[in-house]
Structure 1
């Protein structure tokens, strides 16, 4: 944790779980944009818990998770780790997050010792340099008159203060009413430098990955999302594959698209690239996407 601003320090403290038994950890929550625990926080904390039971020479290469219940931001979350397997090359962990006696989240994660292998990747799509794009503080006030709640701009800025996240094109709430191609791009990095621990960078990317992935679903239908009151949504499941080393405190391009929405659900899939074009992460998420009844 080096040279980081206060919001990033607060986020790092949030991910620094308390160990209460050998494989049992406790975490707190922070304020979120909506009145429930942010899904990216639970996923990142669960991955921290799993990673703390794994040898340090094994790095996370995949996670698969289900969001079971809305989390209560006013209560601690207890994470119980099952040591499913410790093999010669791979280690598998299962984590259950519990609040008020009920599971709210389930994660399976796999870790691997580094090894050489076949190499290929999809090319990085074109995108403008992140430095040319407006910051959240510059962009969000433009849409203040579209938001249902007058304090939405402040809630966005507070909840995302630890992350510099910049949209390549207008976000869903900026173009509500006009369907677009179901694709969205954002650049992101932490607002401050991080220590070199690979698990920390993987957990920070996991945290951010839940912020915008379903945007592309909304764009396909000209919906602005909860902020403008035309959609009710929540994450259902989330999967990530970590292909190559990266740093979450350096710019990453989150290239997102939606191949389908139906049955009150929407699917988002994405690739995350380093600024020099290396494919670092693949992500898939399904979420509830419902139109409010009048």
Structure 2
């Protein structure tokens, strides 16, 4: 988690020219590509730096344009599109080598009263303590990606049903749930928690697509990439306490799949919703039908 927080601590490189330009490092990744959740979270932090602290983010929509190089820093340019009486809108462009790798727009709102309701959290899922951690599942697997997932990620991730890192067991259903919690305690800065939640929201959101067809991450020739990512924050929460991420894929086709997710606190409060479309390519799709 210290590594993630360091990554989110952007440098204001536009201060001398009075521009909203920030720079941040990239986390090491086993395949050399920037993790999508990282650049999403950093883009949000850059936008947050230009908005009054009493206007938290409530929605974000981003497009992944190019794969990022995990060995290079990322530059973030923020456009102050609109500041109204209650809402602010920002566009963040993330660049490497002068080319955009992500384009994101986010909206911020002063807290307000209004009607309120939410759907119920599923009640038939196991507690996180009863599920194996990623480190437990991948113990003894000698591969850079496995070692990274097992011990170098800032979040404890636990699947229900079992994870699909190496194989897919049980029903081929486009549904799953993931318990997740940050390793270590974060500060009380809720903007930090919102950015960290954006980071973690990209971990497993496309997995229901793979699970529905019995495709594990370790499938030879599998190519998968996030195309876009939308997220809505409904209520404040902490990422250093257990959160339940309920996910499903309503459709896939044409080399793409759509997944949606809902994030609840352990006591059932709906704190965020997520949607993502991804590219999914396998060497012989018919063999997974």
- What's the TM-score, normalizing by structure 1? 0.91
Is the 8 Å Cα contact of residues 179 and 221 (structure 1) preserved in structure 2? no
Task: Name 1:209's counterpart in structure 2.
Answer: 201
- Tell me, in whole angstroms, the C-alpha distance in 1 between the residues paired with 2:260 and 2:183: 25
- Tell me, in whole angstroms, the C-alpha distance in 2 between the residues paired with 1:248 and 1:150: 28
Question: Which deviations, in whole Å up to 9, do the C-alpha atoms of 1:129-180 show, x marking residues without a partner?
Answer: 11111122111237x3xxxx733321222441x1111112112234438761
Task: Name 2:259's counterpart in structure 1.
Answer: 268
**In the alignment, structure 1 residue 69 sits paired with structure 2 residue 66:** yes
Is the 8 Å Cα contact of residues 173 and 228 (structure 1) preserved in structure 2? no
Match of 1:242 among 217, 233, 243: 233
Which structure shows the bigger proportion of residues in helix conformation?
1
Task: Name 1:50's counterpart in structure 2.
Answer: 47
Task: Name 1:5's counterpart in structure 2.
Answer: none
**In the alignment, structure 1 residue 251 sits paired with structure 2 residue 242:** yes
Task: Name 1:292's counterpart in structure 2.
Answer: 283
Task: Name 1:141's counterpart in structure 2.
Answer: 139
Is the 8 Å Cα contact of residues 179 and 223 (structure 1) preserved in structure 2? no
Q: How do residues 1-294 of structure 1 correspond to structure 2 at under 5 angstroms? A: 8-21=1-14, 22-126=19-123, 127-141=125-139, 144=141, 150-160=143-153, 162-176=154-168, 180-225=172-217, 227-292=218-283
1:111 is paired with a residue whose SS is strand
Give the alignment's Cα RMSD to 1 decimal: 1.7
Number of residue pairs aligned between Structure 1 and Structure 2: 280
1:58 is paired with a residue whose SS is coil
Unaligned stretches of 5+ residues in structure 2:
none
- What's the TM-score, normalizing by structure 2? 0.93
Runs of 4+ in 1 over 4 A off after TM superposition: none
- Tell me, in whole angstroms, the C-alpha distance in 2 between the residues paired with 1:158 and 1:72: 22
Question: Which deviations, in whole Å up to 9, do the C-alpha atoms of 1:184-224 show, x marking residues without a partner?
Answer: 11111110111111111110010011110000000110101
